Amino acid sequence: MRKFLLLPFIALAIGAALSISAFGPARQEAQVGQPAPMWTLTDTKGATYRLSDYAGKFVVLEWTNHQCPFVQKHYRTGNMQATQKWARDHGAVWFSVVSSAPGSQGYVTPEQGQAIMLRQHSMANAKLLDTGGYVGHAYGARTTPDIMIIDPKGILIYSGGIDNKPTTDDEDVKTAHNYVRAALEEAMAGKQVSVPTSQPYGCSVKYAH
């Protein structure tokens, strides 16, 4: 009899391992070359987004913290917005993700997050709120910015920094190699991504735990 009573709990554990949301902890950490964990998150306007809704498209996840000097550099210079626009113009979907916990640096209410998007002239499709940090932990997001690219088949094909200049100097944007755009260009052309991982840099993600 005890064996049968355990079955519902086993099923629940398997389900939690296969998908994540703002309502429960993640059971895995994404790896490049492997299927990206599914997620469900709400944006700053209260709309619900699911990764599964974007099957067949490239999806970019950008971990952000508006108070981080490294993030500020990329938005102040327009580098992040230009990368977002290029990606969207070529058919990709771009989501900024806030995993800062309440009371920590970078945390925003939905209203604050929307105002920041407008002030930054962000070109992201939406800013997603991951205040519990479950999605961030599942993807292994370490810094802001930290960027992940998921291909149309749902495979994580890039994880790392936006470029190879880990500084807060605006001038470095001009000579930096943009890993994210390069990865998208190669993947969209049917090529293997030549640099699938790079060292992310910036401020640590301010998780709740």
Please report, for the chain, the start and end positions of each structural domain, with discontinuous segments joined by +: 20-204
Question: What pLDDT is recorded for position 160?
Answer: 97
Contact 150, 50 (CB under 8 A): no
Contact 205, 142 (CB under 8 A): yes
At 116, give phi and psi (nearest 5°). -65, -40
Question: What pLDDT is recorded for position 209?
Answer: 81
* 161, 75, 204, 182: CA torsion to nearest 10: -10
Q: Which helix (H) or strand (E) holds 179?
A: helix 179-188
- Kindly give the parts of the chain with pLDDT less than 50: 1-27
The encoded tokens of residue 52 equal 């599964």
Q: CATH homologous superfamily of domain 20-204?
A: Glutaredoxin (3.40.30.10)
Question: What pLDDT is recorded for position 15?
Answer: 37
Question: What pLDDT is recorded for position 28?
Answer: 56
